[in-house]
Amino acid sequence: MITVESISDLRKIRKDLPPPVGLVPTMGYLHPGHLSLVDKAAEQCRSVVVSIYVNPTQFGPQEDFGSYPRDIPMDLELLEKHGVDLVWIPQSVEMYPPGFQTWVMVDELSSVLEGEKRPGHFKGVATIVTKLFTAVEPDKAYFGQKDAQQTLVIKRLVLDLNLPLEIIVCPTKREDDGLAMSSRNVYLNPDERKSAPVLYRALKAAEVAFNEGESDANQLRELMLTMIQSEPLATVEYVSCADVETLQELSGPINEALLSLAVRFGNTRLIDNLKLGN
């Protein structure tokens, strides 16, 4: 496994990697969710590249950029064990050179849900992911369904900018009690950690209701909301039942939808989602 920092070193090594090349973009502090993406890339590609970069522009001014967990030596050990060929640890001076002013914005898809609650988040995500793609030139790139809106934003930009790669979305890895794995789970204190599986319980309860014939979007949202509000440590940011492609909120009877949630436990903000139908 080779580790590089500069774009010129990255390009030197990249050009000799046997195709197809799979890229797994991450912010590090890797857990089995990230590693499931790496394993999928290794299964489908002859070469696997992983990037580790905590991208400052996707964090709001009040968010956790400074305290985001980081452990590069641990990450490298895990990636080596999973057979990764090349790890790229970009440096901010190169990703955002002085005077930086070129952004990628995916308008409508970025204006709802996470984008509405975290203004500028997807502008940062779309820009950094485009830069990772143009530097690495992967044949395939791997993302988690855990960040459902992010996968839609990225698929959209790949289409709109005619980028020659395929986006592969991998299922959400969960702890035994259903909590979606996340680097941010380390922020939870023991009581919050006990309460956090309510996100998945609420999503599953809505899925059960849907499978038993409840198809009204408002009722499904209400059911999830009531369940989360019954958990004293949880503060709901949004509960959504939205179109799977446009992410616009649905009302009335549905036959498919993306259920998604953002919930705070103390200072920790968790998200999760589940697709209904098809």
34 is catalytic: yes
Q: How far apart are CB 173 and ligand AMP at their closest, in Å?
A: 4
Look at phi and psi of residue 178 and say left if phi exceeds 0, alpha if psi is from -120 to 50, else beta.
Answer: left
Site for ligand AMP (CB under 6 A): which residue of 152, 180, 227, 228? 180
Contact flag: residue 130 with ligand AMP (CB under 6 A): no
**Partners of 262 in the β-ladder:** 238, 271
Work out how close the CB of 39 gets to ligand AMP at its nearest, in angstroms, rounded to a whole number.
11
Helices (H), 118-252: 121-136, 148-160, 190-195, 198-211, 217-229
Among 143, 200, 210, 265, binds ligand AMP (CB under 6 A): 143
140 binds ligand AMP (CB under 6 A): no
For residue 256, the cross-strand partners are none
The answer to whether 146 contacts ligand AMP (rule: CB under 6 A) is yes
Q: What is the total count of residues that contact ligand AMP (CB under 6 A)? A: 17
Q: Which two tokens stand for residue 245?
A: 């492609």
Question: Which contiguous run of DSSP H or E holds residue 74?
Answer: helix 72-81
Does 78 participate in binding ligand AMP (rule CB under 6 A)? no
In this chain, which stretch among 34-42, 202-210, 241-249, 267-275 interacts with ligand AMP, using CB under 6 A?
A: 34-42
Q: Based on the shown chain and the rule CB under 6 A, indicate whether residue 183 belongs to the binding site for ligand AMP.
A: yes
Between 221 and 269, CB nearer to ligand AMP: 269
Question: Residue 144 forms beta bridges with which residues?
Answer: 170
Please give the order of strands across the beta sheet that includes 234-242.
234-242, 257-265, 268-276
Q: Which is nearer to ligand AMP, 183 or 250 (CB)?
A: 183
Q: Which C-beta is closer to ligand AMP: that of 29 or that of 210?
A: 29
Q: Which residues contact 242 (CB under 8 A, 6 or more apart)?
A: 112, 113, 248, 249, 250, 257, 258, 260
Work out whether 144 is an interface residue with ligand AMP (CB under 6 A): yes
Element (H, E) at 88: strand 86-88
CB of 201 to ligand AMP, least distance (A): 16
> SS3 for 33?
helix
**CB distance 124 to 113 below 8 Å:** no
Provide, rounded to whole angstroms, the least separation between the CB of residue 213 and ligand AMP.
30
Rg (CA), the chain: 19
- Binding to ligand AMP by residue 147, rule CB under 6 A? yes
Residue from the set 4, 23, 33, 126 that interacts with ligand AMP by CB under 6 A: 33
- Per CB under 6 A, the list member of 121, 173, 193, 269 interacting with ligand AMP is 173
DSSP-derived 3-state class of residue 263? strand
Structure tokens at 235: 């503060």
Stretch that binds ligand AMP, among 14-22, 30-38, 223-231, 261-269 (CB under 6 A): 30-38
Catalytic amino acids?
34
